[in-house]
Structure 1
């Protein structure tokens, strides 16, 4: 479904157009920024129409949440900022999260630079891949992919290099982003993140590589200088054996022998 805005529509029935937009299926907005209709709501002629302010606000908020067009987003937010900040002050951080997840780099950058969204506000949401380190226990199944994450981690999960760089330049802490970079098989992001990542996150990247039976990612981490902790290796060998990941069993056994030889 698409809205075709004609001159007759503009002159005669903006009220019905607003209702149609507000009642349209969500996928309608996902597929189309509806620039013509939004231009109408932002124009001076709109003030002469019998449209309840709450409907105009609702329409603009819907568009702000769904548009991927950076220029349209800025126009809408300039007009809506006063009531958005009052009605839902946490919206700015939440919208930045969605922009990071969807690779909307321009919107992420705008929210950080112009709206002063703090890139590390959501660090408490970043969930490690380890349920426990003593003994070693991992997240499994859908929890591995869909666990709560920071702006940086969701950008890495989507493999969006530009958004990741914007967030890092703004001071985002790496936390567990490297695990998500390994999950989406982005060699570039793993290289970018590994020196900024703590040991648990690097161990998590190894876990992700084994879980995906990704020997290339495992070897890349080793080439970068990362090492598998002994307790993690033991748990990963057991996991690989249980799941029939023979290539990973061989790789982990080889890694254990190489590490032992270096120690001796």
Structure 2
């Protein structure tokens, strides 16, 4: 198998190059709307570097709890400003949503990004009371899955996690060592295994693994591996690919938002 091709999404999604600029424009519109309404707190630092900050989007009234959305991009690209509009569904349902960015490979290793996201969750948790629901897409799915593992979060924060919903996650990083991306990742055998949620026991909290039915076979595999390893709920959505599988996060009535906020919903 050509692993570089297997893990490439752009060549297999119609108008793939159009997605990032559309995401950025929609995200900016949503941020401006919430800033004008007094419901956005931007650029909240959680670390010492420029990228280690998050935006917090607030509902009307007291939040029911906190959602954290972690973006993807193979730990190599993107920034929180591309994704703000994906807070719309949970915010409309009365939840606060934190969206962190993080330092990127090759400036840092994936294991360092994992620790950064743990710190982001902790700092966001200080600002919003109540349960915490974690979701993330692709590499972000990997990162939120890692948060469920023992020792990643301090007990008072871990005890508030009500649901982890990785979307199209990378759950076993070992195949990525065979891609050209590993020039930037610098994964070793030990680090790839240590950073692979599918190789760990299941966390003691609800998990739903979500993936599009039209995704590349390796992403269907990666989602299945995690669901099987953790005996987790596994949702394959027909007709959705790697880029549009997150679109329902914008809709407060979508099955994705309902499941994120209510892990036992069917």
Structure 1 length-normalised TM: 0.29
Structure 2 length-normalised TM: 0.29
Greater fraction of residues in helix:
1
Asked which structure has the greater RCO (Cα within 8 Å, sep 6+), the reply is 2
Greater fraction of residues in strand:
2
From the CA coordinates, give the structure whose radius of gyration is larger. Answer: 1
